[in-house]
Structures are given as C-alpha cells and as structure tokens.
Structure 1
Amino acid sequence: MEKALSTAGVYVERTLALIKPDAIDKAGEIEEIILRSGFTIIQKRKVCLSPEVCSDIYAAHYGKMFFPSLTAFMSSGTSVAMVIARDQAIAYWNELIGPANSVKARETHPVSLRALYGTDDLRNAVHGSGTFSAAEKEIRIIFPDASIDPIPSSQSAISYLNKYVIPTLLSGLTELCKKKPTGPITWLADWLIANNLNKPNICEDFLDKP
C-alpha cells in the first residue's frame, strides 16, 4: 500500500476495519460512528473467518500465550469486515477504536469503540490494521479483489477534470452546436475519440522498424 499524501491533501488511505463476533449485534451503531467520524465505507461483507484466516490476520501475535484463544474467538461467529477510507485512515481508525484492553480503554479513552462496546482485551469489539503493510495484507486476505491504491481526494479529481477533461469536452460540444448532426450523441462520441488531446501520439515509423 502506498503511503497517502495527506499533507498535500491529494490522497486518502484505505484500511481494514473488523467488527468482531462479540459486537456483531452493535454493528449498525458502530458503522454510524465510523461514518460520523469522517470515514467512507468502500466495501463491506459479513464473514465467518476460519482459524487459518484468523492466524494469517493475527500472525504478528503468533507464539504469544493468548494467540490460540484469539484465533478461536475470532472464528467462533460472524464478523463484519469493511474497507474504510479517509485521510490518515490508519491513524484515525486506531485512535477511534482505542487501546486493545477494553477495561483500560474505559479509563483512558472512554469514548473509544473498545471502551463503549468491548469487554476485555480479547472480546474488544473491533480490530484495526496497525500499519500500511498490515492494512494491505489484511485487506487482500478478506477482500482479494479489492483495490488498495490511495484514492484521489475530491479536490484532486476536480483539478484533473478541469485540466484534462473539460477543455476537450467543451470543444466537442461547441463543434456539436455548429454541426447540428442528426445523431448528436454518436457524433460527439466519434469527435471525442478523434480529437482526444490526451491520447498519446504513436510514431508509426518507429513501430515499423525491425
């Protein structure tokens, strides 16, 4: 996963959010909090994770005493998996979910998701990717067809349209008004294909050389 260029306001990040089996009945409430916190839910699905998949997601904890209990718990019921996005998504999501131990979270981060919906350090309601590489890996495990490239911000998209798309489209519409063809939509489509200023120039002589 490429690091988002948040300081320039160009890209937003994607990360994985899991609502664990112990909080599945509160999934709607948690999703509302996610949206109110400035995230966009890109993809969502209910999953019953196998112990093997749980082991892959929590591979960083392999060998620790709680690892068997963690994988058994995570594979014990239905979870909700989401790809969520915003600027600095990984940092903001981990701030929103709070410390891993829900008891401590209620003391230090009382409005965090783990404080509100978790029970202890195992049944702590939600999971979040800790790093860029972890987010990339975990998204690919649960959403193998998902795109994980940074998403252009709205301002970046507007700038691109203003620079590369709108000038060509306006020229085509101007010509359309002048010509007044009988099939305006088809005519405009053909004109845009033939007059696309952003189409790369290909040197046929070069391609023909042996």
Structure 2
Amino acid sequence: MPEIDSETVTMEPPQIFVERTLAIIKPDCVDKADEIEEIILRSGFTILQKRRVHLTPEQTSDFYAEHYGKMFFPSLVAYMSSGPIVAMVLARECAISYWRELIGPTNTLKARETHPDSIRALYGTDDQRNAVHGSDMYSSAEREIRFLFPDSIVEPIPAGQAAKDYLSKVVNPTLLKGLTELCKQKPEDPVKWLADWLIANNPNKPRINEPYSIQEPN
C-alpha cells in the first residue's frame, strides 16, 4: 500500500447548513407559549420569525390539504381554527429532524411512554391536541413556512467554512476598505458614517455607462 504524505493531504471541513422548519403552538397551548419558546431556545434553535394568528376554517383546510378526505380531517380543521395559534420559523443545523425529536410522537400517550421529556408528552392531551406541530420533511417545511410567512425566503443558510468562504470573497474586501477609511476619518458617529460609506461604495450598485439625457415634460 502506498504511503500517504500527511503534509500534502488536506481535509475539507464538513459543510454545515442551518436549516429552517415550521413550528406551531396549537390553540389549547397558546397560554403555554412562553414556556414552550424557552424550551425551543434552550435546545439550540433560533426563532427567526413568529406570529400569532387565528386561521379561518378555509385557511386551515388549505394548510392541511394533504389530509383531505381522511376521517380526522373535519375535526382537525375545527380544532386548529378554534382559536389563535403561534407560528414560528425555527433555525439550526438539521432543524427539521431535531424539532421532530424534541416534540415527540404524534400520539401524546405514546409520547409520555417513549419520550417523557418531549413537548407533546409535557403539554399534549391526545392525538390531535398534542400541543405543537412540526414539519416532517424539507418540502413540507418550505410549503408551510411560505403559507404562514408569505414574505419569507426559504433557503439553507450557509454556516461554518461555507459562510467563511462567502464572507471572505464577497463581503470582507469592501468592508475592510470601509473600516480603513473609518480609522482615517475618525467620525463622531462611526456606525452611521460606515453605513453611509457602504451605501456610497457598494460595488454592486448599478452604474449607467452610456450617456443619457433627461427630457422635461411639455
């Protein structure tokens, strides 16, 4: 077997991507929202967006369209539209699977047996009134986040070496110039000065290279 020269071997660092998922605190647990959010934050999640909303039966039917025709669908729609919910976009590495693990099995009784520290075991009462909802896969998370947060952009967030490479290539050169000039100028309000400098020196700012003329209206 040929020898490997350890000095010439470079190991690529693992690529870590922060993932997003949708969490919903269901109507009968909204009064426990602060407690549940505390569990979420202690578990390493970041809450990117949050809103309290009362869905209509029609909106709820659209949200759970994949369950249309199932026996429990009418009661699910009635329950989830019976009061306000708290919807949150959560982020962390492998957010979807970690959130599913944290909330526990769908059936609250089973959750209490197999995952006694899960959110559903602590706050749920049955299959439907099981305290919280969590997206089960990436495509579901994308659809559900867009449903409840229409302006949200659903893309993986680069982290680790990927983020460092991006900042090094795209952000740092311009930022370094700005910081250097900032040190020379020593303005009274350095943050505002730097913000204005970045706007004026944005390398991606559109430029008009061809001559143009402005015609006044008659």
Report the TM range for the smaller structure's normalisation: 0.7 to 0.9
Match for residue 8 of structure 1? 15
1:55 aligns with 2:61: yes
Out of 76, 80, 98, which is 1:74 matched to?
A: 80
SS at 1:123 equivalent = coil
Gaps of 5+ in 1: 1-6, 205-210
Match for residue 40 of structure 1? 46
Decide whether the 8 Å contact of 2:15 with 2:161 is kept in 1.
Answer: no
SS at 1:56 equivalent = helix
User: Percent identity, aligned pairs only?
Assistant: 64
Paired residue type of 2:156: P
Aligned partners of 1:113, 1:129: CA distance in 2, in Å? 15
Aligned partners of 1:121, 1:35: CA distance in 2, in Å? 25
Residue 83 of structure 1 and its aligned partner are, at CA, apart by 0.6
Matches within 5 A, 1:21-170: 21-153=27-159, 156-170=162-176
Distance 1:107 1:146, change over 3 A: same
Residue 164 of structure 1 and its aligned partner are, at CA, apart by 3.7
SS at 1:49 equivalent = coil
Residue 57 of structure 1 and its aligned partner are, at CA, apart by 2.0
1:189 aligns with 2:197: yes
Distance 1:150 1:103, change over 3 A: same
TM-score calculated relative to the size of structure 2: 0.75
Match for residue 3 of structure 2? none
SS at 1:63 equivalent = coil
User: How many matched pairs?
Assistant: 192
Gaps of 5+ in 2: 1-13, 210-218
Residue 125 of structure 1 and its aligned partner are, at CA, apart by 0.3
> More helix by proportion, 1 or 2?
1
SS at 1:82 equivalent = strand
Paired residue type of 2:201: I
TM-score calculated relative to the size of structure 1: 0.78
Aligned partners of 2:181, 2:143: CA distance in 1, in Å? 50
Decide whether the 8 Å contact of 1:53 with 1:141 is kept in 2.
Answer: no
Distance 1:177 1:96, change over 3 A: closer
Residue 157 of structure 1 and its aligned partner are, at CA, apart by 3.4
Aligned partners of 1:124, 1:43: CA distance in 2, in Å? 22
| Two-structure CA RMSD over aligned residues (Å) | 3.1
